[in-house]
Amino acid sequence: MKTFGELLYTYRKQCRDPKWKNALSQQRLGELLGEELGIRYSGAAVSAWERGESKIHQDDRLLLISLLIVLHVYGGIKSLTEANEMLEAGNYRSLNSEEIQRTFHEVPLEARDSSSLAYSQDPVGVSKSAQIAVRKLRVFLCHSSQDKPIVRELYQRLNAEGWIDPWLDEEKLLPGQDWELEIEKAVRKTDVVILCLSNKSVTKEGYVQKEIKRALDISDEKPEGVIFLIPLRFNECDLPVRLGKYQYADYFPYDRKELTLMKIFESLNTRYKSLMIMELDEKSVPENILAFSNLSLQEKHILLHLSEGKTNREVAQALFLSETTVDKYLQSILSKLKLINRADAVSYALDHDIKSHISI
């Protein structure tokens, strides 16, 4: 497992500095922290954290959260899982709900309960017929009967999420149904297949091999880059040759199960969000309206404040952000909406009456 310093180095190098168009330097990260906190940190301080020569005190929570915010805003940390893994590596406690809200500005899907999955507001200018059909993510559990106990456990964990509809034969099949036909239909309709693999299933001849082959064939029909197959190993075993190109996860040993589940939820979340975008009726929605639906909640709030004539400083004060962070969001808004400058953004907000669709 990587140390806090190693993860800090990794995420810093993944950040892009809009000023210099390259990865954030240690000095630049210190400057950005200073803008968040009002206290300047040197590149030497960041270097010492990365090398493990000094450690942020566990009571200095404000510094830790500010560090996560900068790493997230500039593209290093992309998920709640990554943020908590970094904290765990430094023996710090995980983010609580308030800290999640502050770090990500909107609660990531992996941290929400099922009640928050539906849209609370309609996308601007999008008719009811053109909106996303909110439904659960369909996940098929392909497995060997010999692995049924652990598959049941996995099914229960997925089902408990509220936004996932896992398919398990003993839960879904009704008496009198043609089980082979129903399984084939379920695999065809599913959004994701979790291939449950063990030293029992990969060496066993029979129907489970047929299921794996069917899932692979369907996967070949999917666009490149789509998360459709997730190989999940229950113990040490060799993957079938055709699965070689897919990144697998290990649901063992016991103390790694929760971390593996978090990663699986992140993959499922990615797939779910891509489906939500794809299910928009793009022909009936103008391109700029579709772009608005892709803005984060925080970006919409910033756009609303700008439309009210507020300066970056006033927006920052209203949303408890730094001016630099507000400017970063503004650049993202302009890019997503394909606009040129701040005036264009204000005009867009007024023309589309976004105030009636979002609230602060």
Residue 39 has pLDDT above 90, yes or no: no
Of these ranges, 53-57, 129-133, 320-324, 336-340, the one predicted with the greatest mean pLDDT is 53-57
Q: Domain 285-357: give its CATH architecture.
A: Orthogonal Bundle (1.10)
Which residue shows structure tokens 């006033």?
314
pLDDT of residue 248: 94
Which is the CATH superfamily of the domain at 137-277?
A: Toll/interleukin-1 receptor homology (TIR) domain (3.40.50.10140)
pLDDT of residue 358: 59
> What's the CA gap between 88 and 94, in Å, rounded?
7
Instruction: Provide the pLDDT confidence category of residue 167 given band limits of 50, 70 and 90.
Output: very high
pLDDT of residue 287: 55
Tell me the Cα Rg of the chain: 23
The kind and range of the H/E element at 249 are strand 249-250
pLDDT of residue 359: 43
* Eight-state DSSP code of residue 166: E
Of these ranges, 23-37, 79-93, 254-268, the one predicted with the greatest mean pLDDT is 79-93
Instruction: Provide the pLDDT confidence category of residue 119 given band limits of 50, 70 and 90.
Output: very low
pLDDT of residue 206: 64
Beta carbons of 194 and 264 less than 8 angstroms apart:
yes
Name the percent of the chain lying above pLDDT 90: 27
Instruction: Provide the pLDDT confidence category of residue 192 given band limits of 50, 70 and 90.
Output: very high
pLDDT of residue 126: 36
The kind and range of the H/E element at 304 are helix 297-307
pLDDT of residue 148: 92
Q: How far is C-alpha 210 from the chain's CA centre?
A: 32
pLDDT of residue 294: 66
Residue 17 has pLDDT above 60, yes or no: yes
Tell me the domain boundaries of the chain: 4-103, 137-277, 285-357
The kind and range of the H/E element at 142 are strand 137-142
